Amino acid sequence: MISDRTESSQDWRSDGTGVVLQGSQCAACYTVGFPAAESCTGCGGETTTAVDLPTEGELWTWTTQSVRPPSPPYAGAESAEDFSPYLVGYVAFESGVCVEGRLAEVEPGGVRIGDRMHIVPVEYSTDSQGAPLSTFAFAPTSAEVTR
Protein backbone atom coordinates (compact mmCIF):
# COMPACT_ATOMS: atom_id res chain seq x y z
CA MET A 1 0.00 0.00 0.00
CA ILE A 2 1.40 3.33 -1.03
CA SER A 3 0.87 6.15 1.43
CA ASP A 4 -0.05 9.55 0.01
CA ARG A 5 3.07 10.81 1.76
CA THR A 6 5.54 9.05 -0.54
CA GLU A 7 5.54 12.10 -2.84
CA SER A 8 8.24 13.40 -0.52
CA SER A 9 10.60 10.60 -1.51
CA GLN A 10 11.70 12.66 -4.50
CA ASP A 11 14.28 14.01 -2.02
CA TRP A 12 15.97 10.61 -1.67
CA ARG A 13 16.05 7.15 -3.29
CA SER A 14 17.07 3.65 -2.33
CA ASP A 15 19.78 2.20 -4.58
CA GLY A 16 19.88 -1.37 -3.30
CA THR A 17 22.81 -0.90 -0.90
CA GLY A 18 21.42 2.11 0.95
CA VAL A 19 19.76 5.48 0.61
CA VAL A 20 20.97 8.38 -1.51
CA LEU A 21 19.93 11.92 -0.62
CA GLN A 22 19.26 14.09 -3.66
CA GLY A 23 20.32 17.70 -3.17
CA SER A 24 21.40 20.56 -5.36
CA GLN A 25 24.62 22.47 -5.85
CA CYS A 26 25.03 26.12 -6.73
CA ALA A 27 26.77 26.72 -10.04
CA ALA A 28 28.34 29.92 -8.72
CA CYS A 29 29.54 29.21 -5.16
CA TYR A 30 29.23 25.38 -5.07
CA THR A 31 27.17 25.42 -1.85
CA VAL A 32 25.24 22.16 -1.54
CA GLY A 33 21.62 22.33 -0.40
CA PHE A 34 19.16 19.67 0.71
CA PRO A 35 16.38 19.23 -0.30
CA ALA A 36 17.24 20.39 -3.81
CA ALA A 37 16.38 24.06 -4.33
CA GLU A 38 16.11 26.30 -7.37
CA SER A 39 18.24 29.03 -5.81
CA CYS A 40 21.24 29.00 -3.50
CA THR A 41 20.85 29.93 0.18
CA GLY A 42 24.57 30.72 0.26
CA CYS A 43 24.78 33.39 -2.43
CA GLY A 44 21.30 33.72 -3.90
CA GLY A 45 22.53 32.25 -7.20
CA GLU A 46 19.67 31.21 -9.48
CA THR A 47 21.42 28.29 -11.20
CA THR A 48 21.67 25.02 -9.33
CA THR A 49 22.21 21.46 -10.54
CA ALA A 50 21.02 18.17 -9.06
CA VAL A 51 23.65 16.41 -6.98
CA ASP A 52 23.71 13.20 -4.94
CA LEU A 53 25.01 13.71 -1.41
CA PRO A 54 27.75 11.38 -0.15
CA THR A 55 26.41 8.33 1.66
CA GLU A 56 28.73 8.64 4.65
CA GLY A 57 29.60 11.49 6.97
CA GLU A 58 30.34 12.46 10.59
CA LEU A 59 27.81 13.08 13.35
CA TRP A 60 27.81 16.86 13.92
CA THR A 61 25.39 16.95 16.84
CA TRP A 62 22.49 14.91 18.25
CA THR A 63 19.68 14.91 20.78
CA THR A 64 16.70 12.84 21.91
CA GLN A 65 12.96 13.02 21.28
CA SER A 66 11.50 11.47 24.41
CA VAL A 67 7.80 12.22 24.02
CA ARG A 68 5.50 11.94 21.01
CA PRO A 69 5.86 15.15 18.93
CA PRO A 70 2.75 17.29 18.33
CA SER A 71 0.59 15.89 15.55
CA PRO A 72 0.21 17.43 13.07
CA PRO A 73 2.85 17.77 11.85
CA TYR A 74 4.07 14.37 13.16
CA ALA A 75 2.47 11.66 10.99
CA GLY A 76 2.85 8.61 13.21
CA ALA A 77 -0.52 7.36 14.46
CA GLU A 78 0.76 5.69 17.62
CA SER A 79 -0.55 6.91 20.97
CA ALA A 80 1.60 8.78 23.48
CA GLU A 81 1.77 5.52 25.48
CA ASP A 82 2.89 3.45 22.48
CA PHE A 83 5.41 6.06 21.35
CA SER A 84 9.04 4.91 21.12
CA PRO A 85 11.63 7.61 21.88
CA TYR A 86 14.17 8.22 19.14
CA LEU A 87 17.35 10.15 18.49
CA VAL A 88 17.89 12.85 15.89
CA GLY A 89 21.06 14.48 14.70
CA TYR A 90 22.92 16.29 11.97
CA VAL A 91 25.50 14.49 9.86
CA ALA A 92 28.23 16.56 8.18
CA PHE A 93 29.17 15.42 4.69
CA GLU A 94 32.37 16.07 2.83
CA SER A 95 30.81 18.87 0.76
CA GLY A 96 30.31 20.80 4.01
CA VAL A 97 26.56 20.36 4.16
CA CYS A 98 24.98 19.08 7.40
CA VAL A 99 21.72 17.15 7.03
CA GLU A 100 19.21 16.56 9.82
CA GLY A 101 17.63 13.16 10.29
CA ARG A 102 16.62 10.46 12.69
CA LEU A 103 19.40 8.27 14.05
CA ALA A 104 19.01 4.49 13.76
CA GLU A 105 20.63 1.60 15.60
CA VAL A 106 21.86 3.84 18.45
CA GLU A 107 21.15 4.49 22.13
CA PRO A 108 21.54 7.88 23.88
CA GLY A 109 24.64 6.70 25.75
CA GLY A 110 26.25 5.08 22.70
CA VAL A 111 26.55 7.96 20.29
CA ARG A 112 29.22 10.66 20.07
CA ILE A 113 29.82 13.74 17.99
CA GLY A 114 32.33 12.78 15.30
CA ASP A 115 31.03 9.20 14.86
CA ARG A 116 31.04 7.93 11.26
CA MET A 117 27.43 7.54 10.04
CA HIS A 118 25.81 6.23 6.87
CA ILE A 119 22.29 6.58 5.54
CA VAL A 120 19.73 3.82 5.95
CA PRO A 121 15.99 3.55 5.34
CA VAL A 122 13.75 3.26 8.44
CA GLU A 123 10.07 2.56 9.02
CA TYR A 124 9.37 4.89 11.91
CA SER A 125 5.66 4.36 12.46
CA THR A 126 2.37 3.66 10.71
CA ASP A 127 -0.28 6.11 9.57
CA SER A 128 -3.90 6.06 10.70
CA GLN A 129 -4.69 3.32 8.11
CA GLY A 130 -1.87 1.15 9.39
CA ALA A 131 0.40 1.76 6.39
CA PRO A 132 4.11 1.96 7.22
CA LEU A 133 5.71 5.41 7.26
CA SER A 134 9.30 5.47 6.14
CA THR A 135 12.12 7.97 5.92
CA PHE A 136 15.92 8.04 5.83
CA ALA A 137 18.03 7.84 8.98
CA PHE A 138 21.68 7.83 9.96
CA ALA A 139 23.25 4.70 11.46
CA PRO A 140 26.77 4.23 12.87
CA THR A 141 29.03 2.88 10.16
CA SER A 142 30.89 0.44 12.41
CA ALA A 143 32.07 0.21 15.99
CA GLU A 144 35.73 -0.16 14.95
CA VAL A 145 35.71 2.99 12.87
CA THR A 146 33.85 5.12 15.41
CA ARG A 147 36.17 4.47 18.37
Partner 1 sequence: MTGVSIAGIGITEFGRNPRSVPKMAVHAVRGALADAGAEWSDVHFAAGGSHSGGHADNLLGPLGLTGIPFMNVFNGCATGASALLAASNAIRAGEARLALAVGFDRHARGSFAPRPRDRGLPEWYGDAGLMVTTQFFGMKIQRYLEQHDVDRSVLARVSAKAFRNAEHNPNAWRRTPVRESEIAGSMMVADPLTKYMFCSPGDGAVAVLLCRADDAHRHSSTPVHIRSLTHRTRRPGSFEVFSPAFSPVEGVSVSADAASAAFEAAGIGPGDIDLAQLQDTDSGAEVIHMAEVGLCEHGEQERLIFDGATELTGQIPVNTDGGCLANGEPIGASALRQIHESVLQLRGTAGVRQVRNGPQTALNHVYGAPGLSACTILSR
Phi, psi of 76 (to 5 degrees): -65, 135
- Cβ density class 64-92: b for 16+ within 10 Å, e for less: eeeebeeeeeebbeeeeeebeebbebbbb
Quick check: 74 binds partner 1 (CB under 8 A)?
A: yes
Is 8 or 47 the residue whose CB approaches partner 1 more closely?
8
- Options 20, 77, 131, 133; binder of partner 1; rule CB under 8 A: 133
30 CB neighbour count, 10 Å cutoff? 14
- Options 15, 52, 71, 145; binder of partner 1; rule CB under 8 A: 71
Quick check: 89 binds partner 1 (CB under 8 A)?
A: yes
- Options 17, 38, 72, 129; binder of partner 1; rule CB under 8 A: 72
d(Cα 24, Cα 47) in Å, to the nearest integer?
A: 10
Strand 12-14 vs strand 132-140: parallel, antiparallel, or unpaired?
unpaired
Q: How many chain residues are in contact with partner 1, going by CB under 8 A?
A: 48
Residues 37-66: x where in contact with partner 1 by CB under 8 A, - otherwise, as a string: ----xxx----------------xxxxxxx
94 CB neighbour count, 10 Å cutoff? 11
Q: Which residues bind partner 1 (CB under 8 A)?
A: 5, 7-9, 11, 23, 31-35, 41-43, 60-67, 69-76, 86, 88-90, 92, 95-102, 108, 113, 124, 133, 135
